[in-house]
Structure 1
């Protein structure tokens, strides 16, 4: 039987898998069996050709090989539970992968690589790359569907805190104090986000700046034209809002944050979660890697109604068909 092109993941009892998750985080053989069950259910198949005519490779004593390889009778390829996932070719033990996925999916403000290093015994370099691959698995493959209904849009700035300049090193002209806009541009990274009130789903993207053309491109990517847009009073949104079914604003500059059902408080609540993670857990995030951390928080926020175990399984499933190499560009 050959099902080439079909999904390798087969339906299975999620509650049974969730019950095995704690043991998978502690024992290597249990972790391997957990990942195999999570990926294939009761019908292992070849990730290369989709054939289910496969068998476990054994050593001379008839026991399963230590690396737990499988062989496909259809195409002859050897593979493991890691093949075709973000964990492919990784030498990190399976139980450390299970622990990393569990912590990343269940920690409200995220978990740092140093924390993973302390609990697993991995080097910091390995723990950091492990967490980046998990964040890559959490990121939506195609960016997710465009949001519809009533959509709140806003931007925030993430990164270094403003510092006082000494008289010997003025920011601009002699005697001129740095403006808030200059400080934001030089020291912080802009992040644009939208949230649907109907579905509760959020989308967030790191931008090079908050100029009108970048905001418009982000809105076009994330928001359906049939949506009703809610923003603050920023000038750029006046033109952008004309392309949508409706556009309402609140004037933060006058202390107006809610007017009837017009508000951006939902997306601003998401920003507070992002900043708690960046400043409270990770402490320092480079501009180059910030989108990965945003993707991690976006995943947890969009799966917040799931139980911890179910959310962990969703994160692991998101890593299928993805590959992140250490040398890959950001």
Structure 2
């Protein structure tokens, strides 16, 4: 019986013990190499692009560089998701390693205990990592001539607790008995390729998104939900009735179902409730984890760190606990 990839030696190339054995200087050097890959870790001024910078940190102070061209000070995290960080860089590297090692996700409460952070700090940090993962999906299209893609939708949030007495219970599937908070996560996934999630009020509202992100000539597999009927005009479609079979005559949505399996396990096992304005971030995290499931944890850590270091300041988490937005306005 073949061994599962996660149990194999190639899957484990970085341990948390290795991270904690690093010195602060080694962690700093790693972040420098990740951010300034083209110059092999030599600092590049984010203000003017100058290559002539020198170390100007104070004794026992945070890492700091000064550009000889524009005289501006900057650090390895200036202008990135980790700008104005309070923790040492080694702690951020450890947070990324812990986050990547959990194949179904990591709760903010658990990582706050692991690293001795407040819950709020851990919550913001994990959402910044999810933003970094989402950078990889910007402008992505899937499929193409002769390729196969699968689409499916799943509903999250808006839980209605049933009444205690049976006679008082209502059919919670009907719209009039819902609270309006339920949202549909729609996944577009190419077989043996990448995936792309999005969030809508209903599956039917995802049609324009699907048309813009699936290339012409792609064969689309979907279930028999009426929301997908309109796609027959633009694509060759294969439909599967899940009441009869999970796969039949070459039609199935198993790749899309794998995404929802990972996301549901993350919801039930770690987060317990994912909905509202952050639902898309959790869906993007599940998509990234599914796409890179055959990559070693060391490669995942370097990739997430690289995405975070090349991502501008977070549009959602600027300032202290969302009190200040990037434009200086106060969040309400």
2:271 to 282, 302, 307: 282
1:126 to 121, 125, 132: 121
Q: 2-side partners of 1:268 and 1:19: how far apart? A: 30
Equivalent residue, structure 2, for 1:143: 138
Could you list the per-position Cα deviations for residues 24-46 of structure 1 after superposition, in whole angstroms to 9, with x for gaps in the alignment? 44643432232123222342211
TM-score (norm 1): 0.82
Equivalent residue, structure 1, for 2:26: 30
Q: 2-side partners of 1:35 and 1:190: how far apart? A: 37
Could you list the per-position Cα deviations for residues 204-225 of structure 1 after superposition, in whole angstroms to 9, with x for gaps in the alignment? 1121222x2x121221232112
Structure 1 contact 21–309 (Cα < 8 Å) conserved: no
1:226 shift after superposition: 2.1
1:160 shift after superposition: 5.5
Q: 1-side partners of 2:117 and 2:101: how far apart? A: 20
Q: 1-side partners of 2:249 and 2:179: how far apart? A: 33
Q: 1-side partners of 2:109 and 2:173: how far apart? A: 33
Matched, 1:190 2:184: yes
1:169 shift after superposition: 9.9
Q: 2-side partners of 1:184 and 1:231: how far apart? A: 26
Q: How many residues align?
A: 300
Could you list the per-position Cα deviations for residues 4-57 of structure 1 after superposition, in whole angstroms to 9, with x for gaps in the alignment? xxxxxxxxxxxxxx7798544464343223212322234221122222111111
1:112 shift after superposition: 0.8
Equivalent residue, structure 2, for 1:82: 77
Structure 1 contact 24–34 (Cα < 8 Å) conserved: no
5+ residue gaps, structure 1, are: 1-17, 172-176
1:1-330 to structure 2, matched below 5 A, reads 22-25=17-20, 27-40=23-36, 41-59=40-58, 66-140=61-135, 143-148=138-143, 149-159=147-157, 161-166=159-164, 177-182=170-175, 186=180, 188-199=182-193, 201-210=194-203, 212=204, 214-244=205-235, 246-252=236-242, 254-319=243-308, 320-324=310-314, 325=318, 326-327=322-323, 328=325
Structure 2 contact 43–76 (Cα < 8 Å) conserved: no
1:106 shift after superposition: 2.4
Please, which moves more after superposition, 161-170 or 273-282?
161-170
TM-aligned CA distance change 1:22 to 1:323, over 3 Å? farther
Q: 2-side partners of 1:248 and 1:185: how far apart? A: 34
5+ residue gaps, structure 2, are: 1-12, 326-330
What root-mean-square deviation, in Å, do the aligned CA atoms of Structure 1 and Structure 2 show? Answer: 2.7
Q: 2-side partners of 1:169 and 1:187: how far apart? A: 25
TM-aligned CA distance change 1:54 to 1:23, over 3 Å? farther
Q: 2-side partners of 1:144 and 1:278: how far apart? A: 27
Q: 2-side partners of 1:147 and 1:185: how far apart? A: 34
Q: 1-side partners of 2:61 and 2:16: how far apart? A: 21
- 2:197 match: secondary structure: strand
1:131 shift after superposition: 0.9
